[in-house]
Each structure stands twice: as structure tokens, then as C-alpha cells.
Amino acid sequence: MTKLNEVSDQNDRALKLNYVKELWGSWREVRSQALNRVTNYLFILNTGALLGSLTYVASKAHNSSIQCAIWLFSAGILCSLVHAALDYYATESSFSSYKKDVREFYENKIDWAILVEKTQKQPRFDWVLHLVGWAGGILFIVGLYIGITQIR
């Protein structure tokens, strides 16, 4: 187990510091894109479907099935917003944790192996993002199916 101040070989030290720098850049990039990923897909799909349904409702007589589709699209939009918020805060939390680990590595409080091990850990609640994302997608598909079957 080697701490940063114990690395005497300059090439080895440069490799370790470059590794930290590359991961730092990756985390910054992921952090800046966290909100855009979801917004560009499920949010836009559900919003477009909701607008289409509302347009249909405005041009036709009362139809409870279309109202069901509207509620499903609305719930899909909510799932997209929840997913985006959770994704952002999960990314922010992971990046903050990485910054803390790097600071401890630079302060020689943890060694290289510990830094790499902590870096490679997956977020504990990644499954929540998958669940909310799938829920938004399923709500969109079910709402779309219900809406399409009502078009005459």
C-alpha cells in the first residue's frame, strides 16, 4: 500500500496523478450532463404525447380513456423530473465523494489501492434510477397504447 508521498519513481507518480486527473475530468463531464440525458428523452416524449392527447381531447367529445392516457403521460413527465433530480443528486454525491477521496490521497491519509478501490465502487442506489426511468418509459408506452386505440 503506497501513499502519494511514498511514491519515489517520478513516472509512477505521474501515472497516478494522471489517473486522478482523468477521472476528475470524467466526473465533471458526467456531472454536467446528468440533467440533460433524461430531459432529452422521456420528458420530451411524455410532454409531446400529453400535448397530442390534449389536442385530441379539445377536438373531440369527452372520452375517459383519453383522460387516462393524459394522466399516464403526466405521471411519465413526473417520473422524468424525479429521475433527472435523483440522477443529478446521485452524480453530485458521487463526485463529492471522489473529491474527498482525492483530497485524502493528496494529504497522504489513504493510499493508492484504497483510492482506486473507492473509485471503482458503484453507487448504492443506482437501481432507483433504473426503476424510475423504466416506470416513465412504461407509463409512456401504456399511455400511447391507450391513446392510439381511442383514435377513430
- Entry pTM: 0.66
96: its cell numbers: 463529492
Yes or no: say if 39 and 84 are a contact pair by the CB < 8 Å rule. Answer: yes
Q: How far apart are CA 116 and CA 120, in angstroms?
A: 6
| Alpha helices (H) in 2-152, listed in sequence order | 10-38, 44-59, 64-106, 112-119, 126-150
Per-position pLDDT tens, the chain of length 152: 678 788 888 888 888 888 888 888 887 788 667 756 766 776 787 788 788 877 877 777 777 888 888 899 889 889 988 988 888 888 888 888 888 998 998 899 988 888 888 888 767 777 898 899 899 989 989 998 998 888 77
Count the neighbouring beta carbons within 10 Å of the beta carbon of residue 26. 12
